[in-house]
Homo-oligomer: A and B are copies of this chain.
């Protein structure tokens, strides 16, 4: 309609997008929404049979928008809509936008079922709506029957109808459909539902699946393949609703606990790469079966899948040898986004399903970091955001809309409880919270699965079932921080043997000292924090902090405005203790947030909206990658960061939350201690 629309035409406002326009009386609301670029699903193409295009009228006087909206301003239900309501049911207030027409001013609510909330992502910053624009569209068409006068093939007539009814020109047909086209058309009595995939606007639309009649289901997977854990969301591509979320451990662990040992396994074993690829793909398939069967979804209805992973998992999952990532110059086989087919990676979903893998940022900063960046969006805001995902390597992203920089830092596995004498995974029996009395040096702690603190009544009874078996990753941060706050260790990380006179918990082990957290008890182990444990945490935190500091220097900032901790580790640590130890720079603690599996959230966003794919592809090419190994300054930053919280940076805001021990002036001897790294060191007593 190029004719000017009279200003007296009714005004329609769509929420939550806020897009608005004037439409002649009688315009179907689906058409109105589409002409404004408001995404409303429809499978049946306006036949009022799929029920995907539901909307709701918001009644009331919206003075701000100068709209008085009422159900009187929408057409009453016609026979088709009434039939749908009778057969399928329609919730109170819901209308089918393909049938309901504009009769007056309206405020229309387009229900958004994809809300990232606390059930999905632990401690999410806030509930967030993901606007939808999936790469997959289901299209019901009624195909002309064969005509000997115009002997176009069945498939060609199907394509012609997809062009006519849905605007898809020049369709590319997945080869595996050719043998089935005729049977499906006849089974559906010439009515069929086609799944069209179009990711890039410049690519030809792809016919990837076909069903007889109206097929009103399409699902997608968003999956984060971590070294330890594989996490997956099953999502309806038609409603945007998250149907199920689950996780499983990465079976590659049997080839090597950490990433580098898996690369070594590939280098040492001729079939190593293949075995690990097979293992991870099988685990993804088993997890897919699990999320599907728990929610009654047929895996054949899964048409799209988005993956994020760190570079080594990314390569192994795609069947690429990761050897090059194990050595400088850490060359990725492919850094750009990977667009492929489910069958190319043996994914047990629809044979025509598509796969999208987010781009990798660098050899040590993977598609998972890209996913976390997409989720948290430093590039979408003015605040200087620090985004940290701690694993064996810490992936660090720092920036705002002007500029984003990224690096990885070799923290090692200490934060995950490895290389810690009493370290263990987060599981029942593991200590997860610790406080130390600065006067008596007596500890109290909480154990996973038990309500009481260790000094509370009933604790020993409660832990009988599991015992107290070790310290989990998040608690290691706390115990070292508490040891520092209570003066058991100095700011240089030395366990102070001089304190042994104050408390029997300070134990001597040869030339160093350790702290006794819990005596061996009814068969449970003796749990101590040794000088080596403290050194391991110091090294890890120094690596992390040095990486952060390097990026802050690149950005030319002395402070960050907001901090996001992604990943499991980040979900459990207390930001206050992270700052006491100097894992992170000084920041308003209210601005330090754990965002759970942000990488998986990024995958989910890319699954539900292909615009996010373009956004992260563009952003990844724009992000400046800093290779810590090439920065001569990194070593000095690392040494400076060994101290608690560190040697050089002020933490003015920390004092608002904790009482810091009296700070001793740095001496040359202290610096030497930093330089000597892992070596044991005599106490100052």
Contact = CB atoms under 8 A, between A and B. Distances in A.
Nearest to A343: B175
Contacts of A630: 148-149
Contacts of A118: none
A203 interface: yes
Contact of A156 (B202, B320, B334): B334
Contact of A175 (B145, B154, B335, B344): B344
Given A148-B363, A324-B182, A629-B148, A156 B336 contact: yes
A320 to B, nearest CB: 5
Interface in A285-310: none
B179 A335 contact: no
B336 A153 contact: yes
A179 B151 CA distance: 44
Contacts of A153: 331-336, 360
A657 interface: no
Given A151-B363, A333-B182, A629-B148, A175 B328 contact: no
Contacts of A629: 148
A531 B363 CA distance: 84
A214 to B, nearest CB: 22
A627 interface: yes
A170 B202 CA distance: 10
A152 B344 CA distance: 23
Interface in A320-364: 320-321, 324, 328-336, 338-341, 344-345, 360-363
A340 B151 CA distance: 22
A150 B335 CA distance: 11
A201 B204 CA distance: 12
A151 B202 CA distance: 27
A146 interface: yes
B319 A178 contact: yes
Nearest to A365: B151
A175 to B, nearest CB: 4
Nearest to A159: B336
B329 A178 contact: no
Contact of A179 (B155, B319, B625): B319
B321 A151 contact: no
Contacts of A145: 329
A183 B181 CA distance: 40
Given A155-B336, A331-B182, A627 B318 contact: no
B625 A151 contact: yes
Interface string A177-188: 011011100000
A147 interface: yes
A521 interface: no
A159 B359 CA distance: 15
Nearest to A362: B151
Interface string A511-554: 00000000000000000000000000000000000000000000
A164 interface: no
A329 B154 CA distance: 11
Contacts of A336: 153, 155-156, 159
A633 interface: no
B320 A179 contact: yes
B151 A335 contact: yes
A511 B360 CA distance: 88
Contact of A178 (B155, B181, B202, B318): B318
A183 B321 CA distance: 9
B148 A179 contact: no
Contacts of A151: 329-332, 335, 361-363, 625, 627
A176 interface: yes
B625 A155 contact: no
A178 B333 contact: yes
B320 A154 contact: no
B175 A340 contact: yes
Nearest to A626: B149
A334 B175 contact: no
Nearest to A323: B182
Contact of A329 (B148, B202, B319, B324): B148
Given A179-B321, A320-B179, A630-B148, A333 B363 contact: no
A341 B152 contact: no
A335 B148 contact: no
Contacts of A202: 170, 204
A361 B173 CA distance: 19
A404 to B, nearest CB: 15
A344 B176 contact: yes
Contacts of A332: 151-154, 156
Contacts of A182: 320-321, 324, 331, 333
A153 B629 CA distance: 18
Contacts of A341: 175
A155 B329 contact: no
Interface string A420-461: 000000000000000000000000000000000000000000
Contacts of A175: 338, 340-341, 344-345
A600 B107 CA distance: 64
Interface in A29-70: none
A332 B363 CA distance: 50
A146, A318, A344: residue with the most chain B Cβ atoms closer than 10 Å: A146
A544 to B, nearest CB: 20
Interface string A618-629: 000000010101
A30 to B, nearest CB: 30
15 contacts: A146-B331, A147-B329, A149-B625, A150-B625, A151-B330, A153-B332, A153-B333, A153-B335, A173-B334, A175-B345, A178-B338, A179-B319, A182-B324, A182-B333, A202-B204
Give the top 7 A-B pairs by smallest Cβ distance, nearest first. Answer: A153-B335, A146-B331, A151-B362, A153-B332, A148-B627, A155-B334, A153-B334
